[in-house]
Amino acid sequence: MNDRYSMVIQWSDEDNCYLVHLPEFPWQQFHTHGKTYEEAAKHGQEVIESLIEWYEEQGKPLPEPITFPHKPLKVA
């Protein structure tokens, strides 16, 4: 289920690393980071797994994943 959650990875010149934002968990602007894009993605996945585990332990409902519409996208 955690592969359905969004992850936004962007470079930060100020921090000199990639920052990870998880839109479905918006209480924090950035949730983790990495020196490489791959490291940031790995850390983001780990954070998502930890958040899912925490929600389940607390008995809280998980946020709905952000998804694209079910109808096919038209290419111009």
**Per-residue pLDDT reduced to its tens digit, 3-18:** 689 999 999 999 999 9
The Cα–Cα gap between 34 and 23 comes to 18
With respect to residue 69, please indicate whether it lies within any of the assigned structural domains: no
CATH of the domain at 54: 3.30.160
With respect to residue 20, please indicate whether it lies within any of the assigned structural domains: yes
Longest dimension (CA), the chain: 46
pLDDT in tens, 25-43: 978 888 999 999 999 999 9
- Report the domain count for the chain: 1
pLDDT in tens, 52-67: 999 999 999 999 998 8
- The whole model's pTM is what? 0.81
Contact 34, 47 (CB under 8 A): no
> 40 is in which domain, residue-wise?
2-58
- What token pair was written down for 26? 């918006």
Q: Report the pLDDT value the prediction gives residue 1, as an integer from 0 to 100.
A: 46
